[in-house]
Amino acid sequence: MTDKPLLFTPGPLSTSKATKSAMLRDWGSRDTEFIALTREISLTLEKIAGVEQGAPSHNCVLIQGSGTFVVEATIDTLIPRDANILVLVNGAYGRRMAKICQIHERSYITLETDEDTPPTANQVTQLLKKDKSITHVLAVHCETTSGILNPISEIASAVAKAGRFLIIDAMSSFGALPLRVSNIKCAAIVASSNKCLEGVPGVGFAIVDKTILSNSEKNASSLSLDLFDQWQNFENTGQWRFTPPTHVLAALRQALIEHDADGGVEGRGYRYLENCETLIQGMKTLGFKPYLRNELQAPIIVTFHQPRIKNFNFAEFYSRLLERGFMIYPGKITKVDSFRIGCIGQIQKFDMKNLVEAVAGVVAEMGVKLK
């Protein structure tokens, strides 16, 4: 088992040895031990989402696949065919939710802001006031395209005040940034195993309001992505409808134990914040410019402008860093050339310092003069 390369990516990301090792046994998917494992994971995820145990307002529904699978399943299951949707877009993942609405023939409009600009609660309030036909709002918490933090708590209050339903894509924030259904009113929060929870990829989950879920039978236009059916099967049998990603779940259980040991959401968020600050400080010292203003930056992933100077070539920069054991990530914003460096996963402050040192070495080798 090797630690190289170390991933500075938004997931899949670097995982601990114990999480990888948890995959070294086989599980029978219909066996009681695996049924208990599934239940334990669901309850732990509910706890992280602030669901009160005893009389839970929300239930965790696990589903096979990457993050997009659970986003699609949630939209298609929870939103009736005659609904009208407002999608908040300031990056690729908001845009993807709009595409899901389009494919599943749900009527929608978008509120689009620039990739470096969060939507405001006031904009949402005004729009919902103007268009009474809107029933549902879809929002991304941390838009991983740029790394921007959207004001989800304020947006949730605006949507709740207007009496509409909110679905939150918290893919890249769940487990590291506070998001509790006890104080953020929402129909659902969706996320996956392989981001801030530091599991391996292969399973997503939605923390869904139980009343809304109970009323969502026959909304879905897909069999495998029908979250209602998936939920019913878990409720009735404790089992997965179709082959579960057994090893992924075993790894996730270990990752959740480590999440707790890290100090839960608060502890993990703090480590990522330290990583993020160390990275930005170090890269600024070298002459790199972050894309976002500091107050908009989530401690998840940082977008940097590609230097527009002679000798800088991203492909070469990337491969030279990889040769040194550091894997960074290409840019995704649409208007400027950029690259991204993730702050999440099994990486510590000293790894960020080592990465910045490696960047300094690579830049010198390439003959790039940043200052």
Ligand X SMILES: Cc1ncc(COP(=O)(O)O)c(C=O)c1O
68 binds ligand X (CB under 6 A): yes
Q: Which stretch binds ligand X (CB under 6 A): 62-70, 240-248, 322-330, 345-353?
A: 62-70
Spatial contact of 198 and 19, defined as CB atoms under 8 Å apart = yes
Which residues make beta-bridge pairs with 5?
A: none
Q: CA nearest 158: which of 132, 188, 121?
A: 121
For the chain, the 3-state helix, strand and coil shares in percent, each to the nearest 5, are 40, 20, 40
- Span near ligand X by CB under 6 A; candidates 27-35, 60-68, 210-218, 322-330: 60-68
Q: Which helix (H) or strand (E) holds 333?
A: none
Binding of residue 66 to ligand X (CB under 6 A): yes
Cα–Cα distance measured from residue 345 to residue 62, given in angstroms and rounded to the nearest whole number: 21
When CB distances to ligand X are compared, the closest residue is 67
3-state secondary structure of 300: coil
Contact 66, 204 (CB under 8 A): yes
Q: Kindly tell me which of 297 and 356 has the beta carbon lying closer to ligand X.
A: 297
282 near ligand X, judged by CB under 6 A: no
Query: 48 or 362: whose CB is closer to ligand X?
Result: 48
What DSSP string describes 132-186? Answer: TT--EEEEESEETTTTEEP-HHHHHHHHHHTT-EEEEE-TTTBTTB---TTTS--
For position 144 contacting ligand X by CB under 6 A, the verdict is yes
Q: Does 93 bind ligand X (CB under 6 A)?
A: yes
The nearest distance, CB 133 to ligand X, in angstroms, is: 26
Spatial neighbors of 215 by CB under 8 A, at least 6 apart, are: none
Does 10 sit near ligand X (CB under 6 A)?
yes
Q: Which is nearer to ligand X, 194 or 356 (CB)?
A: 194
Under DSSP, the state recorded for 307 is P
Nearer to ligand X, 11 or 290 (CB): 11
| Residue 74 interacting with ligand X (CB under 6 A) | no
Nearer CB in complex with ligand X: 227/356? 227
7, 48, 137, 140: which one contacts ligand X (CB under 6 A)? 140
Own/partner pairs, 217-222, CB within 8 angstroms, 24+ separation: 219/76, 219/77, 219/78, 219/79, 219/80, 219/81, 220/73, 220/76, 220/77, 221/76, 221/104, 221/105, 222/72, 222/73, 222/76
Q: Say whether residue 226 binds ligand X (CB under 6 A).
A: no
Among the listed ranges 64-72, 175-183, 215-223, 312-320, the one in contact with ligand X (CB under 6 A) is: 64-72
Residues 154-183 that bind ligand X (CB under 6 A): 169, 171-172
Cβ pair 330, 314 in contact under 8 A:
yes
The answer to whether 192 contacts ligand X (rule: CB under 6 A) is yes
How far apart are CB 67 and ligand X at their closest, in Å? 3
Nearer to ligand X, 19 or 68 (CB): 68
304 touches ligand X (CB under 6 A): no
**Interface segment toward ligand X; rule CB under 6 A; list 32-40, 61-69, 78-86, 255-263:** 61-69
Residue with tokens 């040991």: 261
With contact defined as beta carbons under 8 Å apart, do 302 and 144 qualify? no
- Judged by beta carbon, residue 169 or residue 362, the one nearer ligand X is 169
Residue 140 or 249: the one with the smaller Cβ distance to ligand X is: 140
The residue among 203, 172, 201, 202 whose CA lies nearest residue 189 is: 172
With contacts defined by CB under 6 A, how many residues of the chain interact with ligand X? 12
Q: What residues make contact with ligand X under the rule CB under 6 A? A: 10, 66-68, 71, 93, 140, 144, 169, 171-172, 192
